[in-house]
Chain A
Amino acid sequence: NAGVMQNPRHLVRRRGQEARLRCSPMKGHSHVYWYRQLPEEGLKFMVYLQKENIIDESGMPKERFSAEFPKEGPSILRIQQVVRGDSAAYFCASSPSMANSGNTIYFGEGSWLTVV
C-alpha cells in the first residue's frame, strides 16, 4: 500500500542549473498537487494537475517553473536556472478525486532542494 512517492529526497544544484522533482501519486489517485515550504514558513500551493492537464497553476512562479503529469509516468516539477531563493522543501500530494468537500489529500515525504 505505497503512499505518495517522491524522488529525489535531497537534491543539490548550483545556481543556473535545472532541478527536476518527481512524484508518483498513491495507487488509484489521479489528482496531483505540488506545494512548497520555504524555511520557517507554512506550505504554499503551487499547482494542481490531473493526467495530462494543468488545472490550477495559480501558485506557480511565472518564470522558470513548470509542471506536468503525463499519461504515463510520474508528475514532474521542473525548475530551470535555479537561484538560491528556490531552496526549499517541495511536497507532492495526491487525492482520488477533487480535494474539497471532504476529500483529503495525502502528502509525500518531500524533496529538499538546496541551491549553492
Chain B
Amino acid sequence: DQQVKQNSPSLSVQEGRISILNCDYTNSMFDYFLWYKKYPAEGPTFLISISSIKDKNEDGRFTVFLNKSAKHLSLHIVPSQPGDSAVYFCAASEEGAQKLVFGQGTRLTINP
C-alpha cells in the first residue's frame, strides 16, 4: 500500500526554466510534508517542508505547494540549475508518529 506516490519516475527540464515535481498521498492523517534531494551514493538532503496548516512555503528557488483537498503537493524549482539534477523524494508523517513515509522518487535532469 503506497501511501505516498510520485508518479513520474523522471523529469527533464531546460536550465533556467521551472521544474515542477509532483506528489500524491492517500493518508488523510498526514500533517507534515517534506522534500529531500538525493545524489547517487549519498544520503538524502533536506530541502523544504510544509505543515498541513499552510498551503505554500517558499525558500529561495524552492516553493512547496500543498492542496489538502486533493491530497497533492508539488515542489517548484525556479530557475532550474544543473546542480539541481538529482532524485527528489517526497515524504510525509502523521502527527505523533515518528516515521516518514517516502515516495518512490523522481529523477530530475536539468539540461544545459
- Measured CB to CB, the residues of A under 8 A from B are 4, 6, 31, 33, 35, 41-45, 48, 55-56, 58-59, 91, 98-102, 104-110, 112
Q: Are A33 and B98 in contact (CB under 8 A)?
A: yes
Instruction: Identify 18 residue pairs between A and B in the complex whose beta-carbon atoms are under 8 Å apart, listed by A's number.
Output: A4-B43, A6-B43, A41-B104, A42-B4, A42-B6, A42-B105, A43-B89, A43-B102, A56-B99, A59-B99, A91-B44, A98-B98, A99-B98, A100-B31, A100-B97, A100-B98, A110-B43, A112-B41
* B59 contact set on A, CB distance < 8 A: none
Interface membership of B27, Cβ < 8 A? no
Which residues of B in the span 77-112 have a Cβ within 8 Å of any Cβ on A? 89, 91, 93-105
Interface membership of B49, Cβ < 8 A? yes
Interface membership of B51, Cβ < 8 A? yes
Q: Are A102 and B42 in contact (CB under 8 A)?
A: no
Closest-by-CB residue of A relative to B99 is: A45
- Measured CB to CB, the residues of B under 8 A from A are 4, 6, 31-32, 34, 36, 41-46, 49, 51, 89, 91, 93-105
Q: Are B32 and A100 in contact (CB under 8 A)?
A: yes
Across chains A and B, the number of contacting residue pairs, with CB separation under 8 Å, is 72
Checking B42, B98, B105 against A110 with a beta-carbon cut-off of 8 angstroms, the contacting residue is B42
* A44 contact set on B, CB distance < 8 A: 102
* A91 contact set on B, CB distance < 8 A: 43-44
* A41 contact set on B, CB distance < 8 A: 104
> Measured between alpha carbons, how far is A101 from B36 in the docked complex, in Å?
17
> Measured between alpha carbons, how far is A104 from B44 in the docked complex, in Å?
12
Checking B41, B42, B46, B98 against A104 with a beta-carbon cut-off of 8 angstroms, the contacting residue is B46
Q: Are B99 and A48 in contact (CB under 8 A)?
A: yes
Q: In the assembled complex, how far is the CB of residue B23 from the closest CB belonging to chain A, in whole angstroms?
A: 11
* A56 contact set on B, CB distance < 8 A: 98-99
Q: Are A109 and B95 in contact (CB under 8 A)?
A: no
Closest-by-CB residue of A relative to B49 is: A104
Checking A42, A98, A108, A112 against B89 with a beta-carbon cut-off of 8 angstroms, the contacting residue is A42
Q: Are B98 and A101 in contact (CB under 8 A)?
A: no
